[in-house]
Structure 1
Amino acid sequence: MADAYANSIMVDALILGREGTIVPEHHCYAPPLPGIDDRLQLERWEPWVRAYIAIGEMMQGITLRKAPAGHAFQVLSSASLIAEVGRPKRTTFEKQIPLVLSWAELRSERATEIMAQIDPQYAFWSSIVYLHPDRTRRTFELINLVLQFCVYVEMRFKHAMGCYRPVEYNAEVQPMITTPGHGSFPMGHATQAYAVVQVLKALLELNPAKHKMVIDQLERQAARITTNRVIAGVHFPVDSMAGRMLGIALGEYFVGRCKSGHKFRRRKFLAAGIDNAPHTDFNPFSGSQNIHGSAFYSEAAGANIMKSNLMEHLWDAAQYEWMGRFP
């Protein structure tokens, strides 16, 4: 939002330049005003303006509330469930402390990665699908929107759950980085990483058969980013499990707001599953943690997600950058 001309020399020069060149003339040549809410006007605005507009659009109809039954919290859109996260028992977190302490053995090995992944992991996604700040500017914009949308939702979940960090359970955890000043459960890094994977798979139109390696690398990178937060000592494995589900659900919803033909999946993280097996570590590649249905997760197809014309425009602008890249 900085003004490149906002310095005294340039301001004075512009004033003098105008006074030395203008003549009395009142002819106007601005084009006709556009239609109300014309999505093409998005191209006239700066990226930060488009971001505010898009986040407002994404949050329309969103409700964040306590679930009608049990210790759970929900995110809905126009009364249709996007995701529900159940909160594990305190004893589950206590029994996961040995897992956190065990993962700490990898801190020296993963320290560089952990530090590099504190902020959004653009470099890591770029290394797989070749994002570039000049060549794929609109894709970067879209990913930023995904991340902002996730933060709005995940922070509300973290507040609702009110779960403590590992360092608040055991003095030997001693995190290697500053423990964030918000709740532990569900994990925000997992939510964001998995949401971005969902969006990239749809944006690049990756085919599970033809582009298996690309999809596999994106998902493995998301899992590694997630696990690194446990290694750092700021999260429990169960935070990863719930964050993964929430991220996938939000990513699917984001795609549905940009493209027609997508349904609500009504995803749930089942706290009873982890409460009954509290020593379970995060392993998204295990059949026992199948996101489509297992002791820890459930889903059920729902109504169609309502597409947004504004979001579709931003999606199309980003997708144009990938024409012919993944045939």
Structure 2
Amino acid sequence: MSIPSVIQTQAGLWGQAGLWGQAGLWGQAGLWGQAGLWGQVGATGPSNPSALADPALSLSVAAMRDELLLASAQGRMPAPRTPGGLFGQGVGPRAQSLLVELLGGLRVLAHEQGQGIRLQFRDAAEGARWQTLLSLQAPEPGYLQAQLRLVDADLPLRDSRAVEIHAQCQGALAYLLTVSGQALQERPRSAEFLSAALALQQALQMRCKQMLAVPRPSHLAPRLLPCIDVPAHHSFPSGHGGESYLVAALLSRWLARIGDSGGVGAMLHQAAHRIARNRVVAGVHFPVDSIAGRLLGAVVEHHLLALAGAGDSPRAQLPGPGGWGEPEAGVPSDVRSGSDHGAQPWYEPLCGWQLVADPLEPAPDLQALWRAACAEWPEST
């Protein structure tokens, strides 16, 4: 089976949306557009062509039909087999179906007190209680004004990073896959799981952006003159920050199964950190946007693992109990510090984090896909 086109092509699951591109989610290059997973360059498009897409071949098969049927009469035909469950459909229909399961039982609400939102899920306890996975508060205008100085301080990096900044607008995933040193063409279920995780991340972050409505740095300070197009959605949380963290975290988990003791995982998280910082260098994000995006990515990762029966549910806050503090505290930690503190967003001073063993509604399709993905990374002995 060929690898899903979210990994195989730069068009990917989102087409040119979010971290992996520039056009809208449902635009011509978006999720269901001409270059998306289900579009002309998607899982069912030319990158995975059907032989009968060739008109000449199709007519030739039709011309042979009577002759073939006569030959088939000489023997018994196998009984038709239609496998059920998640893997009874092709890659594209599976992804569409799975997204419904992932979004089920989730909601994003405005916080009753102030400028914030709550991402919640409904547990499987008696009475089906709503539990808060993530509480996000929009930074105050004065805090953003102070962070503009940090954006200004990063502008000199544009000269040395301009090429990668532009390249990461179109295909940042390729950077992380290259760092991992693994060929996901040989691990199609893992590629599908990444696609599903990114689909959920993108949907949730866009909802958070809309509800929190934090302006872009260049909207507050036109002097920044961003070196790339300013996206047509709000700034907080950062999509690049969240999606790159999510991919790095999942790849790191799988690499640990085959013997990586953290070396490649640290490189993946540093690459994700650099991708997020490049958006600050470009002038389209505040540093604190990256912390929020990475925290949302961690919430999505742990929520998916909990649904798959491989972990506990997260409880996350930004800001945490200590409040926003100084603007410099809103800069993501660098992985090169040599500890996990730079890799994991819950160690950031601004964040609150804990894991809870919640009763969850079964997610059978996600569980099946997670088991199939992990089977592609056999544990080293």
Q: TM-score, normalised by structure 1?
A: 0.86
In the alignment, what sits opposite 2:204? 153
CA contact (8 A) 1:269 1:297 kept: yes
Q: 1:14 aligns with which of 53, 57, 61?
A: 61
Q: 1:172 to 1:305 in 2, by over 3 A?
A: farther
User: Residue 108 in 1 paired to residue 159 in 2?
Assistant: yes
1:157: Cα distance to partner? 0.2
Output the CA distance in 2 between the equivalents of 1:31 and 1:67: 54
Q: How many Å separate the matches in 1 of 2:342 and 2:325? A: 13
2:103 corresponds in structure 1 to: 59
Report the residue type matching 2:197 in the other structure: V
Counterparts of 1:233 and 1:14, CA distance in 2:
57
Residue 112 of structure 2 aligns with which residue?
68
Contact 1:264–1:305 (8 Å) recurs in 2: no
Partner of 2:190: 139
Moved over 6 A (4+): 286-290
> 1:68-101 CA deviation, whole Å, 9 max, x = no partner?
3222112111112221111111121122112112
The one-letter code of the counterpart of 1:112 is: V
Q: Distance in 1 between matches of 2:309 and 2:179?
A: 24
User: What is the distance in 2 between the residues matched to 1:139 and 1:77?
Assistant: 25
Matched, 1:211 2:261: yes
Between the aligned partners of 1:31 and 1:11, the Cα distance in structure 2 is: 22
C-alpha contact 1:85 1:271 (8 A) present in aligned 2: no
Q: Partner of 1:240 in structure 2?
A: 290
Q: Does the CA contact (< 8 Å) of 1:85 and 1:270 recur in 2?
A: yes
How far apart are the structure 1 equivalents of 2:307 and 2:252? 15
Is the partner of 2:355 in helix, strand or coil?
A: coil
Aligned length: 318
In structure 2, how many angstroms separate the alpha carbons of the residues matched to 1:120 and 1:83?
28
Q: What letter matches 1:296 in structure 2?
A: L
Give the counterpart of 1:284 among 333, 344, 349. Answer: 333
Contact 1:238–1:274 (Cα < 8 Å) also in 2: no
- In 2, the alpha carbon distance for the partners of 1:215 and 1:113 equals 21
Letter in 2 for 1:43: F
Distance 1:309 1:101 in 2: 48
Question: 1 or 2 for the larger relative contact order (CA 8 Å, sep ≥6)?
Answer: 1
| 8 Å contact from structure 2 (residues 251, 265) kept in 1 | no
Question: What is aligned with 2:352?
Answer: 298
Q: Does 1:182 align with 2:233?
A: yes
Which 5+ residue runs of structure 2 have no aligned equivalent?
Answer: 1-43, 123-129
The structural deviation recorded for 1:7 is: 4.3
Matches within 5 A, 1:74-93: 74-78=118-122, 79-93=130-144
Q: Deviations over 1:14-49 (max 9, x none)?
A: 221113433597x98545776xxx53xx33322112
Alpha-carbon distance change, 20 to 97 in structure 1, aligned in 2, over 3 angstroms: same
Q: Is the 8 A contact 1:158 1:185 kept in 2?
A: yes
Query: Structure 1 residue 167: deviation in Å?
Result: 1.3
The alignment yields a C-alpha RMSD, in angstroms, of 2.9
| Alpha-carbon distance, 1:276 to partner | 3.5
2:126 counterpart residue number:
none
3-state secondary structure, aligned to 1:48: helix
Identity of aligned residues (%): 25
Instruction: Name the SS for the 1:73 alignment partner.
Output: strand
Structure 1 residue 275: deviation in Å?
Answer: 4.4
Q: CA deviation at 1:150?
A: 0.4
Q: Determine helix, strand or coil for the equivalent of 1:266.
A: strand
1:323 is aligned to 2:378: yes
8 Å contact 1:274–1:280 — kept in the other structure?
no
Partner SS, residue 244 of structure 2: helix
